[in-house]
Amino acid sequence: MRKLFRHLNYYWRVVATGFGFALFGIGGLFIALVIFPVILFNVKSKDQRKCRTQKFISKSFRFFIGILRGLGVLSITTINIENLKSDNGVMVIANHPTLLDVVLLMSYLPRVDCVVKEALWHNPFLKKVVHSAGYISNSTPESLMDDCVDTLKKGNNLLIFPEGTRTEPGKPEVFRRGAANIALRAQVSMRLVYISCQPSALTKSHRWYQIPERKMHFTIRVGDCLATKPYITKNDELSISARRLTQYLQKCYRQGEVIHESVA
Amino acid sequence: MDTKQAIFEHVKTVLVDKFEVPVDDISLEATLYEDLDLDSIDAVDLIITLQDYTKKKIQPESFKQVRTIQNLIDAIQQLLVES
């Protein structure tokens, strides 16, 4: 009986996962074609558009995650999540175990910029949305860094995955130095977020229908707001500071420890 | 004009001091991105630093083809010859 239930649950989740993917695509299209033009029409100033679009994206993602929870595809535990909402002009960094990480984090971040791959800037449906949200394109490394530094200096938050791509399952995190370089140049703090998903799912090596035996359980731990200033020293070049900071961050994530200060 | 050996020594010093590359890893065949673990930001930094040495503005385009230390030295020497 129990076995039968497990089987039924498994197939239910395959169907629900497929539905989730379809909903994400269709919902995205609906927002781009129907909802978004309304924002564009009603809000004229660029800054306000950015704010409204980001808020709307965050709410949509929250709704989407809510549906996945309701369907029994996943469950979530959060730790110190309220700290994310008060951040301003902060670089939010996280490890990147699954395909859902961006959606999950942005559902808790009403105001955040992120880097969007260049292809989407040419996508006929989404180009206006990413443009209006003021997201950053990864077209060339030089402009990418300048744009990231600029937006942080303006007081916006920026979400970055320092690994640059999803974490290889079972392997230690390898951080690239771009995130540290940007934070040091913009002189902003970094908010450390650690995501884990048990059992492992939606990784780079999974296809959408290859779902785990049990439902996915996400834990999102919001950790320190790390000041990066102490890494800038008189004697060292920025290239050295970025290496030190990256080494420190990588160590924290490899140990799975992002909460060091007692976060009140 | 500096010899290739002198340029090599200078590049070596920069890589060790500014980018913490282990000195033993630096050989003519070593690739900047894979073997020496530089990234695109380091590459821009490196070009700016080497400008002080060549006393000439380096066009990033002329460094696009640079993969190894040997390529780098050749590119710098090319610049110095042109003066």
The whole-chain average pLDDT of chain A stands at 93
Domain positions in chain B are 4-82
- The pLDDT of residue B72 is 93
pLDDT band at A46 (very low <50, low <70, confident <90, very high): very high
Region A239-250: what's the mean pLDDT? 96
- The pLDDT of residue B83 is 64
pLDDT band at A141 (very low <50, low <70, confident <90, very high): confident
Distance from CA of A226 to the nearest CA of B (A): 22
A–B interface: beta-carbon pairs under 8 A: 28
Domains of chain A: 2-254 (3.40.1130)
pLDDT band at A137 (very low <50, low <70, confident <90, very high): very high
Cβ-nearest to A181 among B17, B19, B41 = B41
- Residue ranges in chain A assigned as alpha helix (H): 2-30, 36-42, 46-70, 82-85, 101-108, 127-132, 141-153, 178-186, 238-254
**Tokens found for residue A189:** 């703090």
Contacts of A173 (CB under 8 A, 6+ apart): A95, A163, A167, A250, A253, A254
Contact assessment for residue A222 and residue A193, using Cβ atoms and an 8 Å cutoff: yes
Per-residue pLDDT tens over the stretch A171-217? 999 999 999 999 999 999 999 999 999 999 999 888 988 999 999 99
Per-residue pLDDT tens over the stretch B25-73? 999 999 999 999 999 889 988 998 998 888 888 877 778 889 999 999 9
Cβ-nearest to B39 among A142, A177, A238 = A177
Question: Which fold is adopted by the domain B4-82?
Answer: 1.10.1200
Contacts of A15 (CB under 8 A, 6+ apart): none
pLDDT band at A263 (very low <50, low <70, confident <90, very high): very low
Nearest residue in B to A141, CA atom:
B40
Cβ-nearest to A240 among B20, B41, B44 = B20
